[in-house]
């Protein structure tokens, strides 16, 4: 971040990306370290506390907080990018706003584990026992419906931005649903968790925060491609530097 004028704050996508990926990389390594420490069966209370704080398979710890924070930050930033694009393309801005709302709901779900509660209730209703992973089936339906509604709106984004967003979505879903399904298979086939399940949860959560980080970077490029500043009041403006995202839009019109 750097101040270009007294009343304008300019953000550079490359610098934002560097900071985001460093933070996410550190969190991934800390999660792996927590799993390795768990396998060593430590007795030191401080080591046990550190393990609990960064264990990817635990709720209400630093790793979970980071995941929730990324979802929340993505949601808020989507509203900002929607505001930047509103003068250029109202339909695109509408799609970004809807997606921002979805991300806020996802951050709430990550914090209070609504999807796991849905899975348990479905398990009791359909199978007579709690099966947490059954949430995957309604979630898959929601994903398909969301893509069908939002893709025509978001397809108006610059090609580079759409490509990076697509990659981020694949990475995130590979973790959130793909590795979750794999973990379900491991539990159901053995009746209990093992080392492979432990590391599958680390891969799952690491893919999630990596996908969210890539998506946030894509948003900085999208905001820069709009060519506009977001003004707060009469003196403070936020602008994303366009040099890292000057690709033409799909409509063949350069940013205004």
Q: Give the distance from CA 180 to its chain's centroid.
A: 16
Query: 84-108 pLDDT, tens per residue?
Result: 898 889 999 999 999 999 999 999 9
Most confident of 128-142, 149-163, 219-233: 149-163
Residue 136, in any domain of the structure: no
> What pLDDT sits at residue 63?
93
Per DSSP bridges, beta strands 8-11 and 236-240 are parallel
pTM, two decimals, is: 0.84
Count of beta carbons in the 10 Å neighbourhood of residue 137: 12
Residue 152, in any domain of the structure: yes
Residue 22, in any domain of the structure: yes
**CA separation, residue 95 to residues 146, 197, 251 (Å):** 10, 37, 16
Residue 178, in any domain of the structure: yes
> What pLDDT sits at residue 164?
95
> What pLDDT sits at residue 253?
46
> What pLDDT sits at residue 241?
63
> What pLDDT sits at residue 204?
95
> What pLDDT sits at residue 248?
41
- Give the three-class secondary structure for 58: coil
Residue 113, in any domain of the structure: no
Query: 18-35 pLDDT, tens per residue?
Result: 899 999 999 999 999 988
What average pLDDT does the segment 213-241 reach? 76
Residue 218, in any domain of the structure: yes
> What pLDDT sits at residue 193?
72
The parent domain of residue 193 ranges over: 10-107+146-244
Q: What is the number of structural domains in the chain?
A: 1
Residue 139, in any domain of the structure: no
Residue 141, in any domain of the structure: no
Taking each helix axis as running N to C, give the angle between helix 195-226 and helix 13-39, from 0 to 180 degrees, rounded to the nearest 10.
170
- Give the three-class secondary structure for 111: helix
């Amino acid at each position: 971040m750097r101040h270009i004028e007294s009343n304008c704050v300019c953000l550079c996508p490359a610098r934002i990306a560097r900071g985001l990926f460093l933070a996410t990389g550190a969190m991934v390594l800390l999660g792996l370290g927590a799993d390795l420490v768990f396998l060593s069966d430590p007795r030191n209370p401080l080591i046990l506390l550190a393990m609990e704080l960064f264990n990817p398979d635990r709720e209400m710890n630093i790793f979970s907080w980071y995941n929730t924070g990324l979802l929340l930050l993505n949601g808020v930033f989507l509203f900002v990018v929607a505001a930047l694009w509103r003068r250029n393309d109202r339909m695109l801005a509408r799609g970004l706003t809807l997606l921002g709302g979805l991300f806020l709901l996802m951050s709430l779900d990550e914090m209070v584990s609504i999807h796991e509660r849905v899975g348990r209730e479905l398990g009791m209703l359909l199978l007579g026992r709690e099966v947490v992973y059954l949430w995957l089936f309604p979630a898959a339906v929601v994903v398909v419906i969301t893509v069908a509604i939002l893709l025509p709106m978001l397809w108006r984004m610059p090609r580079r931005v759409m490509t990076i967003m697509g990659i981020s979505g694949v990475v995130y879903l590979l973790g959130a649903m793909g590795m979750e399904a794999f973990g379900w298979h491991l539990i159901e086939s053995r009746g209990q968790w093992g080392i492979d399940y432990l590391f599958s949860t680390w891969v799952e959560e690491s893919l999630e925060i990596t996908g969210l980080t890539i998506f946030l970077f894509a948003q900085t490029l999208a905001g820069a491609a709009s060519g506009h500043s977001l003004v707060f009041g009469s003196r403070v403006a936020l602008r994303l530097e366009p040099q890292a995202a000057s690709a033409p839009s799909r409509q063949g019109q350069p940013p205004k």
